Structures are given as C-alpha cells and as structure tokens.
Amino acid sequence: MSAGAVLILGARSDIGLAVAHAFAARGHAIQLALRDAARAEADRADIALRHGVAVSLHDFDVLDTAGHGAFLDSLPALPQLVVCVIGLLGTQEENRRDPARAALILRSNFEGPAAILERIAERFEARGSGVIVGVSSVAGDRGRASNYVYGAAKAGFTAYLSGLRARLSRAGVRVVTVKPGFVRTAMTAGMQLSPLLTVGPEAVASRIVAVSQGGAEVIYVKRLWWLVMTIIRALPEAIFKKTRF
Amino acid sequence: MLLSGWGRFPRADCRVLRPANAAAVPDVLAGQGAAIARGMGRSYGDSALNPAAVIDMRGLSRLLAFDPETGLLEAEAGVVLGDIIAVFLPRGWFPPVTPGTRFVTLGGMIAADVHGKNHHGAGSIGSHIAWLDLLGADGEVRRCSPTENAELFTLTIGGMGLTGMILRCALRLMPVASGWIRQTQIAAPDLDAALAVFEANMASPYSVAWIDCLATGKALGRSLITLGDHAAPDDLPAERRAQPFAVPARRRLSVPIDAPGWALNGISVKAFNALYHARGLSALGERLVSWDSYFYPLDAVLHWNRIYGRQGFAQFQCVLPLATSRAGLQALLEAISAAGTGSFLAVLKRMGPQESALSFPMEGYTLALDFPARARPLALLERLDRIVLDHGGRFYLAKDSRMKADVLHASDPRAAAFRERREALGLVRHFSSLQSERLGL
C-alpha cells in the first residue's frame, strides 16, 4: 500500500490519536484536524518523533460547514485516506430536554460529519481514488430509550455513509463504516462497561487500518457486537419498547 | 483502588486520578490535599501509595522533541523507558543510565534517581537530566535545571516525588553503535576476589555481580561478575553488521498466578543459587548478548514478582562506603547465611562518587536482596539494618517498604535536611506518600 497522507477528523479524541499512531507506524504522513489545533502540539510532536513521518495540525470545526472547502484547500496535500472520528455523546436527559443541546448533538454527530465527508468525497471522486472511514456507533442501529438523541444522529450518519458508499462504488472510492461498540476513552470514563463488549482505542485503530486496506465495508470492532445488535434489531417492537437498555 | 509497589507489600486502597496529558495535571491536582505521583509502580514498597490521592502519570506519554546533534530528548514524564529504547535505539541512541527494568517512567526514574550497572562511571540518571518542569503546590509550573530553580532541581532528583509533580523533562541520550553488549563473565570464589575484580575493572563501562548469599565459610561472597560494553559493528558477526541495532526477539514468559507460599523456601533458594552459579561457571569469558537480555533479564518474565506468592516480598538495598565495604559486606552475608533465609536474587555492585540531596548512591558497594514478606525474613532485615548503620551505610528508598524512621535518620543526615526544606517550601501538606509519612520525610 502506498503510504499516502491520512487525514484524521476529530484528532483530539483518544480513538483519533490511536488511529493517527497506527497509520504513522506504517509510514503514512498524518494530518490532524481539530478545534484549537495548537493544543495538540505535544501529540503532533509525539507521533512525528515515534514514527518518523510528517505530521501537521489543522484548525477544523465540523459545525462550520461554510468553512469546510477552505479547510480542505489548506491541507498540504489531498489525503489518500480520511478517518472521521468526530462524536459528541452528551447525556440523554440533557439532550432530550434542551432543544439547543439536541441540535448540537445532531449537528456534531451527523450534519457536520456528513457535510465534510461529502466535500472530501467530491475531491476523491474527481481524483478517482481514496478511502473514507466513518466512525459511527452501535447506538445508531436502533433507537433506545437511554440514548436516542445520540443514537438518532449516529443512525443518520450510518445511513449517510451507506448511501455515499453506494454512490462512489464505481468511482474508485471506498467508504467504510466502523461501529466500535464500547471503547475505553475519556468519553466513557467512569461508565460501567461489559469487558466482553469493550475494547481499547488501539484495537479500534488497528481494525480501521485493516479495513482501510480492503475487505468488509461495514464492521463492528468486536464481532460479538454484530450478534448483539442483530438480536436487538430483530426484537419485535412490543418487546423492545419494554427493555431498559 | 487497591495498589501496591512491585513488591506487592504493603497494599493500600488509594483514590487514583489520571490526567490525560501534562497540561491537565494542574487542574487534577488543584483542590487535592496531599497527593503523590505514580508511574509504572515499579518502586518496590510504598513510595507511590497515598490513600488520599495517587496521580497516575502514565497519560503523560508524549515525546516532545529530539535533537539528533546532541541526543537531547524532551518528553512528558510518563513516557516509559522501553518506548524510548524502541524509538531511539534503531537511530543509534540509548539511555545513559538504566535500572534493571525498562518498564519505568522518566518521572519515576528521576524521583528515585535510579542507577544502573554503569554507576561507577556514568553516575545516576540525575546527572543526565538537562531540565525538568515541576508543578508546585501553588499550581505554577517551574522549569528547573542546574542553573534555573537550582535548589528545586537538586531536591527533585532523588526526591521520591515529594517536591511536586514532574511534568516534562529533557534527558541526554548516549550514542551507541549497536544493540549488542560485549559481555565478560568472571567467577570470584569469595568476597575478596569479587571486590578485587570490581576494583580492577573500573574502566569497564558496565559491571555487576550476582552474589550467592547462602555460601558460607571460605566460599562466603562467591560471585559471578559480569562486565559489559556496547559493541561496535566490527565486534559483531559478519551477518549482523548490516543491521547492528536489530536483535532477535526474546521469548516472553509470564508468571500467570501467585506461587504458593511454600514454593520459595530455604531449599529451593539454595538449589536455585547453586544452579545459577554452576550455569554461570559454564558461561565464563567473553560473548555477545543483546541489549535486552543484558540489561533486562527479568523483563522477559512478566509478573515475576508473583513468585513470592500473595504476601509479596520486601527488597533490601544498601550501600556501604568504600572504606567499610569489605567488613560490612562480610557481616551482612554472614547474617544472611546464618539465618538460612537466602535471597532469591542478590546483586552486588561498585558505585562511584555522587553528591546529591537525597539520592541513594555513594562511592562504595551496594548490595540488593529480596525476601518474602514474612515474619522471619523481616526480622532478619532489621538485623541487616543495624549492620548497615554500624558501617556508615545507607538505604535505597525506591526499594524500601518497611524501614523504621529512626533507622533512616540515623543512616542519613540528609533526610532531616530534606524534610526541613520541604517544610520551608510548604511542600509537606501537598506531596506525601505512605513512605514519606512512615519515614518522616
């Protein structure tokens, strides 16, 4: 695989940094895109020093859709591969009660990521190559009482990636949907997570590296999640609505 | 969270806070009472235990800058030594000083002012630190170096984390020409012979001895001394010269569960020591060994601390001044062999001179032992404490889990001076460990 540049959208997150390290270890130049990018200087230096690759920082706000074109123009090169790990969980109670909060969750997880990936898809399509990896969520597989605002946003993103993949299938551009399940990160710190269904950010990163090279295009990081979500999706509504998870 | 040091004795239920990076530490520390920083938890006793607040520094794991002209590496304090070797040995650089495990953080190495097999020539890690960033109780981060905030710099090196939180540091790496060590193994039939070998080989960059502490009579102090130096590419077999930094991967072993308490007893320890001695005798002379098997033989056995069983073990490491080393070592070895509770691993090493605020090393000989944390061996350790005091020696805080405060203060007047400076600088209320409270530091 030629070591083209990899763009990480949402590079501040634990998964984003793990993905950056994993691609840098394979010789890819890395573009880290995040808000207040200067804060990530230590991470930039660390990736560059450990792996001996070029790493650049780029200010990027996924909600500033009007600025997306200028952001892409500012990159040192159009990347070979983009990984979007942007996500905002919030708490269900707050997301549900406060319409402004709900809008922020929907925009951060769905509208913003969909907008930037569409701009990137146009450029990849014109070039005739590229890989887009969208990190979505098992929460998008079926709306649950405990987090349906976030889940609806992720469901939208999953559907968007599905359509994008179909549209670009003949254009030489791969679109991959990754559903990590539970990941031990700052976002989930303090939560009780089942060890059988939980992975570290490094495991997500190595799966993303693997699927970016070929194979399945919709994956759960832990295969057990496929079984769990297949069952959850298959539950009749009459039963599902009585569940508490 | 139930924590312990590497010796798994003592254990304490500690509240653990885990900042994600150096910038996050001030916020995490603010509002805490007394806290202690913790890295990989490789100090043996209670140096990194504090029930009120343990700050887990492993999130501070970033390399920040490297100057290939000078070898100066800047990094966050939670960076692990093994990562530094993995990144920089292929580029021709090696840590100037390394303890017996590479699973230690930079901050932990500085706090314990660790030494290695090259102490007689290279000193301890502190003499290779260009600067460090220290977070104080006031929330200020101070750059400390031999010329800037010099007192804090001196107190922090070997200061067991009791002067503040080390956030970042700059370490001078050492250029090496290969990943191999030219090793020479020498057998010494008794203590006098062992000391003579050390004195005759002060020019050898690395030297260390395994000492059979169950040998008695004329064999008292029989040792296997291992000398070493970094090999040049020309020293390597022809097929290795093209890639002088590549070494074969070692097999990893692991101790999966606690060994039962009876597994280590006088008989098994004696058998092990006899076997080790016989094996060493068969490997006398010069040969090439890889950097990892030379510096980190025990790292190949994950969780080796479990061989002592659930109750854990106590390390004992002292250093005796040159003038009293011969007599002091003889007295220590006689006490150990008379008690019959031999140490699984006993290590003897010549140290060079060193000036420092609280660091362990001084010119003379250091002896390191470990014993199961049971009543009889612990009583023996108290007798050993007395022998060390009688010979003007002192103790390694990174190994200690059970010493009494009066023993420390009798051995080392610097301890009281260190405590006095901690009080004057307002540090006592903010940075403490179970060890610092036990010892009155």
Question: Between residues A41 and A195, which one has the greater pLDDT?
Answer: A41
DSSP string, chain A: -----EEEETTTSHHHHHHHHHHHTTT--EEEEETTGGGGHHHHHHHHHHH---EEEEE--TT-GGGHHHHHHHSSS--SEEEE-------HHHHHH-HHHHHHHHIIIIIHHHHHHHHHHHHHHHHT-EEEEEE--GGGSS--TTSHHHHHHHHHHHHHHHHHHHHHTTTTEEEEEEE--EE-SGGGTT----GGGEE-HHHHHHHHHHHHTSS-SEEESSTHHHHHHHHHHHS-HHHHTT---
Whole-structure pTM value: 0.91
Average pLDDT over residues A149-176: 96
Whether residue A217 is predicted with pLDDT greater than 60 in this model: the reply is yes
ipTM attached to this prediction: 0.86
| pLDDT tops 80 at residue B269 | no
CB contact under 8 A, B64 and A42: yes
Task: Indicate the pLDDT class of residue B304, thresholds 50, 70 and 90.
Answer: confident
How far is B371 from B311, CA to CA, in rounded Å?
Answer: 11
| pLDDT-wise least confident of A94-98, A174-178, B273-277 | B273-277
Mean pLDDT, chain B, as a whole number?
Answer: 92
User: What is the pLDDT at residue B337?
Assistant: 86
A150 is catalytic: yes
SS3 B276: helix
Average pLDDT over residues B304-315: 81
Nearest to B20 among A46, A50, A186 (CB): A186
User: Is the pLDDT reported for residue B259 higher than 70?
Assistant: no
CATH code, A6-240: 3.40.50.720
pLDDT, tens digit, 9 for 90 and up, residues B30-49? 888 899 999 999 999 999 99
Helix (H, G, I), strand (E, B) or coil at B76: strand
How is residue B319 annotated by DSSP? E
**Which tokens in the block code for residue A238?**
């009459």
**Which positions in chain B touch A186 (Cβ < 8 Å)?**
20
Question: A49 and B65: CB-CB below 8 Å?
Answer: yes
Count contacts between A and B (CB, < 8 Å): 26
* Whether the Cβ atoms of residue B59 and residue B40 lie closer than 8 Å to each other: no
The pLDDT of B54-69, averaged and rounded, is: 97
| Residue B209 parent element (H or E) | strand B206-211
CA distance A134 to A128: 19
Closest approach of B87 to chain A, Cα-based (Å): 6
Query: Cα separation of A154 and A139, whole Å?
Result: 7
- Asked if the peptide bond before residue B10 counts as cis, ω within 30 degrees of 0, the response is yes
Of A39, A43, A186, which is closest to B62 when you measure between CB atoms?
A43
What domains does chain B contain, in order, with CATH numbers?
Answer: 61-176 (3.30.465.10), 180-404 (3.40.462.10)
Q: Which tens digit of pLDDT belongs to each residue from B84-119?
A: 999 999 999 999 999 999 999 999 999 999 999 999
Q: Is the pLDDT of residue A1 over 60?
A: no
Q: What integer is the mean pLDDT of B192-215?
A: 95
